[in-house]
Chain A
Amino acid sequence: MPETKATNGGELDAWAFNSIFELVPFSIAIIDRDYNVVKANNNFASYFGEWRDKKCYAVYKKLNAPCPHCTIRDVFADGQPRVNDVDGIDQYGRKAHYIGHCAPLRPDGRGRVDYVVEMSLDVTGTGMWQQEYQILFDRVPCYITVIDEDYCIVRANESFRENFGDVLGRHCYEMYKRRKTRCANCPAAKTFKDGRVHHSEHQGTGKRGQKIHYAVSTSPLIRDSDRVAHVIEICNDITEQKKLEHEVIEAERLAAVGQTVAGLAHSIKNILMGLEGGKYIVSLGLQKNDKDLVSQGWEMLERNFDKTTTLVKDFLSFSKGRLPKLVMVDPRTLVDEIVDLYKDVAAKSGIELKAEPDDGIKPAPLDPDGIHTCLTNLVSNAIDACLMGEQKGSLVTIRVRENRDVLVFEVTDNGCGMDYEIKKKIFTTFFTTKGGGGTGLGLLTTRKIVQEHGGKIIVDSQKGKGARFRMEFPRARLKSLYLESEEETEGD
């Protein structure tokens, strides 16, 4: 810039002032005490239009008289600069949203303010973004709340307020669940602690007392910081899905009831047939004075009365309440109990029964009565299978293992085994291969209990080659069922 160097200081000041006056990304206007715009830059002209010989209110807002709350007048009055968020009208008559910085100008250096300079920054675009963001925040089909470290809601979107009510200064647990204390398994607490995103499902209560199911994800409101001061909770309303799920389960249950009744009817018919037969043979024996026939018929009657007892017992355990009562137990003690219970029975039939629990199996939340029933059924089946098989040296083994966070109970026998036809039917019907000895409910009950624990039962068998029944319980499922049941008892 050779020219600049040639000029003296005063000329440089004037040149620099003019250049900057035009270059700054503001619309600048200098206004006198009579609201006249006395000087403005090109930015100003291209934003608000022609300004020469015009009053500021005419240029900024296209008005005929000074604005009711005039910032410029205030600056003239007390000499203090001000910043305002202002709505005006641009040269094309469109709404102009700008931040106006008004500062006093004192040509004599101090004392009286002769002019005010107003530097305006157009934020029309930014304002729209803000508005759009606000609409997005309010209308997005989620409930969104921002909470502080005291679990007070500092912001909530419209969807939330419509369904849960006004939030000002209320705690999130009051609003979501109408509670007076924090929830036991609060996902926000985890986020405050570790700064990570957490997901979970909950049931809350709306402002009209309606039940609302929601899936919430909690995330910190800041990035890359050690301390989380606010957490944002974004909730998806899954009430409808839950309702549908419930209907499906209900329909399945009805179908199961139908199947159950049909199976029960069949079991009863079989017992009746036995009773009918016993009755007939007894009366035949009496008629002929044949003592052997009488005692044969009488045994038949006794056997079928016993069957009734077994059926009722099995049926009651099959129809028992749906939710397992989970408590922390050592899986090995459950197995030991079964071995103690069946050891003598097995030994009498020449069958060895033994437990082989792995080392280091941790306690797990299980329903001890339920698992007891399952193991009882599996072990008594295994013993029966050994009796039906031709293998010498019959052996029934109960193992407890841990396989990649899955707790496994395994009952293995070297008895008669099953072919495909039988394997297909064992869980789905009241099928029994034990003739009079079975009700066809044992494995069905076992499967039901295992499923209630969030687990599954797998059978592995070949005809003549024994069988292995494996109950698998993923620990994660057990844990969440455990937490759910805890929350439920707490909620009651």
Chain B
Amino acid sequence: MADKSKKTVLVVDDEADVRNFLKAALMEAGFDVILASDGFEALEAVEKHVPDLISLDLVMPRKSGIKFYHDLAKNKTWSKIPIIIVTGHARDDLGKSDLRELTMSGPGIYLEKPVKPHNYIAAIKKLLGMETTPDENESAEQVRMQNELKNIIDNADPDTLRKLKELIEKKSGGR
């Protein structure tokens, strides 16, 4: 941590394989990395050293991602740390409501497992306002659009969706 230009990312995930994977990708991209396997360890890590960004899983034993997030929100400095959510529970009952709360009130960026390393790095660089390579830039833009679309569809009421579908069908039928 001697190099001040190096940014630090805290990776919180209960699966060792995921932690090691993300660590390798981050280090390759020139980040310093701290690892934590649940909300408790993550909180300890933040107390020791405030990271520039937190990569957070939602469903973990002991202390879940959302609980950890609530803890962060209580602290003025910590609440400003940008967060990216990496989860496999974006669409099931375990994670859906937590994710909704987080995207509505908080960081708003999430990646659904499995993630590609360059997508992951691009999204993080974007969040930190760092320059991205053209490659990363493209995938970051892709991720952003995918997320936006996902959000729209997830939050749309069935009526609007049906109208949209009819509209599209009419357009393609009216050629």
Contacts and interface: CB of A to CB of B under 8 A. Distances in A.
A433 B21 contact: no
A431 B94 contact: yes
B15 A435 contact: yes
Contacts of B116: 276
Interface string B17-28: 110111011001
Contacts of B61: 422, 433
B94 A429 contact: yes
Interface of B, helix, strand, loop or mixed by DSSP: loop
B152 interface: no
A431 B64 CA distance: 13
Contacts of A304: 17
Contact of A273 (B14, B24, B92, B113): B113
Contacts of A263: 92
A263 B89 CA distance: 9
Contacts of A269: 88, 112-114
A280 interface: yes
Interface in A87-144: none
Interface residues of B, number: 25
Interface string A258-276: 0100110110011011111
B16 interface: yes
B167 interface: no
A266 B59 CA distance: 11
Contacts of A311: none
B21 A276 contact: yes
Contact of B24 (A270, A280, A422): A280
B14 A277 contact: no
A262 B91 contact: yes
Give the most central of B14, B112, B114, B115: most A CB within 10 Å.
B114
Nearest to A271: B114
Interface of A, helix, strand, loop or mixed by DSSP: helix
A304 B16 CA distance: 12
Contacts of B88: 266, 269-270, 273
A425 B92 CA distance: 14
Contacts of B59: 431
Contacts of A216: none
Interface in A268-295: 269-270, 272-278, 280-281, 284, 293
Give the most central of B17, B25, B88, B117: most A CB within 10 Å.
B17
A231 interface: no
B159 interface: no
Interface in B1-53: 14-18, 20-22, 24-25, 28
Contact of B15 (A266, A274, A431): A274
B24 A293 contact: yes
Contacts of B169: none
Interface string B64-87: 000000000000000000000000
A391 interface: no
Interface in A225-270: 259, 262-263, 265-266, 269-270
Interface in B83-127: 88-89, 91-94, 112-117
A296 interface: yes
Contact of A270 (B15, B20, B22): B15
A25 interface: no
20 contacts: A259-B93, A262-B92, A269-B88, A269-B114, A270-B18, A272-B113, A272-B114, A274-B21, A276-B117, A277-B20, A278-B17, A280-B25, A281-B21, A284-B28, A300-B21, A429-B92, A429-B93, A429-B94, A435-B15, A436-B16
Given A270-B15, A275-B114, A281-B24, 4 more contacts: A259-B93, A273-B115, A280-B117, A296-B20
